[in-house]
Amino acid sequence: MATSTHAPGSGTAVILPEYDVWPPVVDSCVRSFAGTNWKVTTSVAEPAAGDHLMRPAPEREPEAAVDAADRIRFENVNLVVNGQKARAQVELRWKGLPRVGNASGFSPRDESHRLVAQATTLAVQELLADPVALNVREVTVVDLAGARVAVVMLSLHAHRHDKVLTGSCTVEQDTPQAVVLATLDALNRIVAGMRAKEPTEYVLRAESYVNEF
C-alpha cells in the first residue's frame, strides 16, 4: 500500500511509503511542497503480472460420498477349512443383480482370509461390464485401540492403468464377513463409476462344501 499527497488544483501527486504515524521531517517536507491544504489518500497497488502464480491453490472439495444405490451389497459368506485345504464362497448383490464368487486352495485357517478376499473380487468382476483385473495383494487383521480390524490391499488394472486400493472394516461379528466388507470398502468408490452387466437369467444356489474335501 502507498500514500499519495495532492495539492488542491495543482494536479501534482507525491507517492510516499505508508506510515502508521508520519515522521515530523516527512510531514514538514510535504507541507512545504503542497501547501497547508494538502490531502492524503491511500490506494492498494495492483498485483504485478504473474502474482497469481504465487497464490496458493484453492483447496479441493471433498469427494462426494458414494450413493447407497451404487454400493455393492454383502449377502453372505461361507468359509470351510479342512486340514490344509480351504474354500470360500461370497454372495454379493449390485443394482438388483446377485453374483457368487468362489476361491479355493491349500491354506490353513489362519491364512484363509485371503481366499475370502479373492472370492469377493471374483464376485465383483462378475458384476462389471467393464474389463477389470483385480488381484489381492495383502489381507491382515490387526489390533487397533483394543479393536480388531480387517485390512485388505488390492491392485486394480483397467484401461491400461494400475491402481492400489485399500479398505478396512472392524471385526464385529466374524472375521470372514469383515474381510468381505473391507474388500468392498476398497472397491465401492471405484465401482460406482463403472457399468454393470446386463441382467440375465441367473440361478443363485448354495453349494455343499463338506463332500468336496
pTM of the model as a whole:
0.62
Structural domains of the chain, ranges and CATH numbers in brackets: 2-45 (no CATH), 68-196 (3.30.160.270)
Question: Model confidence over 105-117: pLDDT tens digits?
Answer: 988 776 789 999 9
Beta strand 147-158 with 39-43: parallel, antiparallel or unpaired?
Answer: unpaired
CB 77 within 8 A of CB 90: yes
Question: Model confidence over 146-184: pLDDT tens digits?
Answer: 999 999 999 999 877 899 999 999 999 899 999 999 999
Q: How many CB atoms are located within 10 Å of the residue 9 CB?
A: 8
The residues that bridge with 74 in the sheet, in sequence order, are: 92
What is the torsional sign of CA 99, 102, 108, 111? negative
CB 40 within 8 A of CB 3: yes
Question: Model confidence over 28-60: pLDDT tens digits?
Answer: 555 555 555 555 454 445 555 555 545 555 555
